[in-house]
Chain A
Amino acid sequence: MNETLIDARQLSRHYDVSNGFFGGSSTVKALSEASFTLQAGKTLAVVGESGCGKSTLARVVTMIESPTSGELILEGHRIHGDEAMSDEQKANLRASVQIVFQDPFGSLNPRQTIGRILEEPVLINRPDVSKSDRQQQARDMLSMVGLRPEHYDRYPHMFSGGQRQRIAVARALMLNPRILVLDEPVSALDLSIQSQILNLLVELQERLNLAYLFISHDLSVVKHMADDVMVMYLGRVVESGSSEEVFGAPRHPYTQALLSATPVADPTRTQTRIRLQGELPSPLNPPKGCAFNPRCWKAEARCRTEAPSISGEDTHPVACFFPL
């Protein structure tokens, strides 16, 4: 049985936004009541369109931000709430949750050599490691992610996008984390490079028994990588379940629409596309009732007044009054 590394219960993150001098303030519910678990060696994919709270979730899980309510339990340690841990303990725990960002051009400091970039996390978090050990670790890591030792002294601009993403992965792995948050790790890469990075991630997961929180909007990549999938819409989880269940038999109308809107590289496939009207509503002013009701073709009076909570079968819950 694999150890549960992340246990999130009803995680919420709300932001107060000022509406100007006379406007008072309003609340953006970037993330509402997200609950999920992630085991070692598994991949949980978070899917949704822009503004659905995917990245907020990443920031909360990596402890960059603290949730406004709810509980986050990492490796059995409760991070927030009553029995909260000391800042020192938190700092230690932080090392075990690392993140890889979307844009490998923006996330590496152009003025540092690759060696320096890789050593920095160790320098900060494990100051007692000797210089030679640190350098050795960085060189070992370079070969682990498929780069050559001579890349140690080079600068980020000398690398292509795919190689930079390898460096970003290497940096995230320097502190031997157990959880890796991958925030759109391949969406800035070309197709031929994308498969190299996905393969690298699969290999590393098998080797190091890493848990991945894989954030992506590309459903074909998610289908390939994920064990479990969580679909989000406007800050809420609308459906979650194993990859086979969600892709094979989607229950929420939004999931179904998302799947049908994703282009499939097969020209002989006959299209049965669900046409979604309109766009994602503003999170500042979400619709009453179910957030998806203005775009949903199955919406009835109840959907417009009452918000459905996520419920249903244990393995494949859905937040909809009329699940498919």
Chain B
Amino acid sequence: MPLLDVRNLSVEFKTADGLFKAVDGIDVQVDVGDVLAIVGESGSGKSVSMLALMGLLPWTAVVTADYMTFDGIDLATCTARQRRAIVGKDVSMIFQEPMSSLNPCFTIGFQIREALKAHLPLSRSQRQLRAVELLEQVGLPEPERRLRAYPHQLSGGMCQRVMIAMAIACKPKLLIADEPTTALDVTIQAQILELLLDLQKDTGMALVLITHDMGVVAETAQRVSVQYAGQKVEEQDVEALFANAHHPYTDALLAALPERASSKLLPSIPGVVPGQFDRPAGCLFSPRCAHADDVCRSTSPKSASQELGLARCHYPLQQGVPLRGDV
């Protein structure tokens, strides 16, 4: 049984202009020890789907799912108290902006010990010891002194290390990292990604990495799920995805990477991601797709077989060529 099993998750927001579907029927399965990357552009619902799991969405959100379990506990029906016991302990999350996700009014020592106090039966001195140990684990020099520092006294990279220390404080089974390195410089990004992967190997936790950077995906993930406009359009192992993308969106996205370009002009995807009011009928990618025909524009596609990367497309690609008729 997978550690995290979510089927047909949808999230709708009540807005002044009616319901907006931010996440549309997403399946996520994560096993113990998995490194899953969720890739998508802004507005593809990758953060919202994970926030929905954690129960961190505002009241305007309506979350529905056929099935949403973590480690045997049904997250859809459990009480708020039960959820609080899991969140921060067995599932924890790291956010994009390390500087703004730490509370500026408290020392980082206080904030790390707070996480321990909420979930573990440790005494005050044990908590202090554990906090020092955690900072050592994430590679911050002089941990005792750092514990007394406030977030503004640390750099962005150090703050992100503190966030990671807080997230792994209770030895979670699943760590969700939401764009953990987007706000950081490349050399610091390399350090943080390496740290996350080392921790993942050492503790055997599952890691879900939300990102928009294909380079980060290629270097860290085992499995990749590609999202577009709130839908999962493809899921494959990382090597297979980069070698043979089955959904035209993934294919176009990879072709648009400057490092894969063969000429000065990049192959680009025309148009923009559909918003609340211009969601097309049929396949959501059809207005921008190079292979779309009338079927694509009228009926919404089902996911293809496992061999075709579960591509949500009428004509999944095989080595860049759409398969027509026989699928």
Contact = CB atoms under 8 A, between A and B. Distances in A.
B201 to A, nearest CB: 15
A223 B260 CA distance: 11
Interface in B41-61: 41-42
Given A220-B257, A264-B219, A275 B194 contact: yes
Contacts of A202: 264-265
A50 interface: yes
Contacts of A268: 239, 242-243
A192 B255 CA distance: 9
Interface in B206-220: 212-219
A221 to B, nearest CB: 5
A220 B261 CA distance: 10
Contact of A280 (B185, B215, B217, B270): B185
A194 interface: yes
Interface size class of B (residues with CB under 8 A): 35 or more
A26 interface: no
A266 interface: yes
Nearest to A159: B272
Nearest to B43: A190
Interface in B196-243: 212-219, 238-239, 242-243
A221 B258 contact: yes
A279 interface: yes
B214 A191 contact: yes
A136 interface: no
Interface residues of A, number: 41
A258 B252 contact: no
B88 interface: no
A162 interface: yes
B288 to A, nearest CB: 8
Given A224-B261, A279-B157, A263 B267 contact: no
Interface in A242-275: 257-258, 260-269, 271, 273, 275
Nearest to B255: A195
Interface in A179-224: 190-196, 198-199, 202-203, 217, 219-221, 223-224
Contacts of A194: 256
Interface of A: 49-50, 160, 162-163, 190-196, 198-199, 202-203, 217, 219-221, 223-225, 257-258, 260-269, 271, 273, 275-276, 279-280
18 contacts: A160-B272, A191-B212, A191-B253, A193-B41, A195-B266, A195-B267, A195-B269, A196-B268, A196-B269, A202-B265, A217-B186, A221-B258, A224-B261, A263-B215, A265-B254, A267-B219, A269-B218, A275-B191
